[in-house]
Amino acid sequence: MLSLKLPRVFSIDQMPQVFHEQGILFGYRHPQSSATACILSLFQMTNETLNIWTHLLPFWFFVWRLVTALYVIDVQNDSYSWPLLVYMSTSCVYPLVSSCAHTFSSMSKNARHICYFLDYGAVNLFSLGSAIAYCAYSLPDTLVCTTFRDYYLTLAVLNTIISTGLSCYSRFLEVQKPRLCKMLRLLAFAYPYTWDSLPIFYRLFLFPGESAQNEAALYHQKHVAMTLLASFFYSAHLPERLAPGCFDYIGHSHQLFHVCVILATHMQMEAILLDKTVRKEWLLASSGALSLPQIVGAVLLCLVFSLSNIIYFSAVLYRAPEPEPPKKEA
């Protein structure tokens, strides 16, 4: 019989510093793994296995939601639904890219950085998708026909470009200045989210307006709560920081962060779908649908400038030497 030999795993003291994770002592993959070894590691327990599956499985769920939406929408003629399709597409992109980033991040030091550059770009593309959906369906009544709406998407695009650049730059500080690296990365993701969510905060806590007082508000509240919880796990490194080595494979903060992010996206999607359905008549009468040039232009600008950021920072990486392989056992 043929037997499949799975890649071996390493402890933290056998790994170059750039691969170290706070509070995670065991279960590291070889820092110069082949692509085949990376794929095989999906089927063995390492400290990245659940990071991969907690986004790979939801990717298929969100694809199913997108496909079912396409069956009931007249894509060619229903311009009111275009923002929803863009949002649902970006909600498929970011978990797929994230799962791929975690899968192939052990191929080399540079591959690790480039994988996460792409991950950051995908997250920011999703951020823009959220802004497009909010602008189309979820603005409170008092902001629908205002200058804020006119410039909301423009600033959302600018935020995604800056955020991608800042988060990519933060990786160069990871070893020498880990605290500054973490602060910059949190800032890079927090301020686009805050801008995108301003209409939701205004709607939930100030003046929603008659058409926005619907059952979607509860899902918006759950989305905000899950996002805050995800931010906590991402920044606190709990529980592994309190008990290093105990949560290497199951239950460490990045896995919990992934689960919270997926649940937040699910809640957000339900809220947007409800807003789109319940507020359709009022929104079309008050402001009309977003135009195709607005939607396509925003997405293309985000893609072009974010990819330019990723290409630039990837090129800079190759000025640094590759890490040494892990120590061999005696």
Distances (CA, A) of 226 to 150, 189, 214, 258, 326: 29, 15, 20, 11, 38
pLDDT given at position 2? 43
Per-residue pLDDT reduced to its tens digit, 33-49: 999 999 999 999 999 99
Is residue 46 a contact partner of residue 249, using CB atoms and an 8 Å limit? Answer: yes
pLDDT given at position 25? 97
- Give the tokens for residue 4: 């499949």
Residue 287 has pLDDT above 50, yes or no: yes
Confidence bin at 51 (pLDDT 50/70/90): very high
What does the mean pLDDT of the chain come to?
92
pLDDT given at position 1? 38
| More reliable by pLDDT, 204 or 162 | 162
Whole-model pTM? 0.93
Residue 162 has pLDDT above 50, yes or no: yes
Q: What is the mean pLDDT of residues 210-218?
A: 77
Cα–Cα distance measured from residue 301 to residue 310, given in angstroms and rounded to the nearest whole number: 14
pLDDT given at position 3? 52
- Give the tokens for residue 109: 């030091």
Per-residue pLDDT reduced to its tens digit, 215-263: 899 999 999 999 999 999 999 999 999 999 999 999 999 999 999 999 9
Amino acid (1-letter code) at residue 309:
N
- Give the tokens for residue 244: 């290093």
Closest to 189 in 3D by CA, of 253, 148, 235 = 235
Cα–Cα distance measured from residue 305 to residue 299, given in angstroms and rounded to the nearest whole number: 10
Residue 156 has pLDDT above 90, yes or no: yes
Confidence bin at 210 (pLDDT 50/70/90): low
Cα–Cα distance measured from residue 153 to residue 196, given in angstroms and rounded to the nearest whole number: 9
Query: What DSSP string runs through 7-31?
Result: PP-B-GGGS-GGG--TT--S-BPPT
pLDDT given at position 320? 58
Q: What is the mean pLDDT of residues 110-116?
A: 96
pLDDT given at position 4? 64
Find residue 10's DSSP bridge partners.
28
Q: Poorest-confidence range of 12-21, 68-77, 259-268, 281-290?
A: 281-290
Q: What is the mean pLDDT of residues 70-79?
A: 91
CA 276 from centre of chain? 23
Per-residue pLDDT reduced to its tens digit, 289-313: 899 999 999 999 999 999 999 999 9
pLDDT given at position 329? 40
pLDDT given at position 27? 96
Interior angle at CA 149, CA 148 and CA 151, nearest 5: 70
pLDDT given at position 135? 96
| More reliable by pLDDT, 321 or 305 | 305
Give the chain's domains with CATH numbers: 47-317 (1.20.1070)
Confidence bin at 69 (pLDDT 50/70/90): very high
DSSP 8-state code for residue 172:
G
Distances (CA, A) of 119 to 53, 81, 199, 220, 285: 15, 27, 26, 25, 39
Cα–Cα distance measured from residue 329 to residue 246, given in angstroms and rounded to the nearest whole number: 23
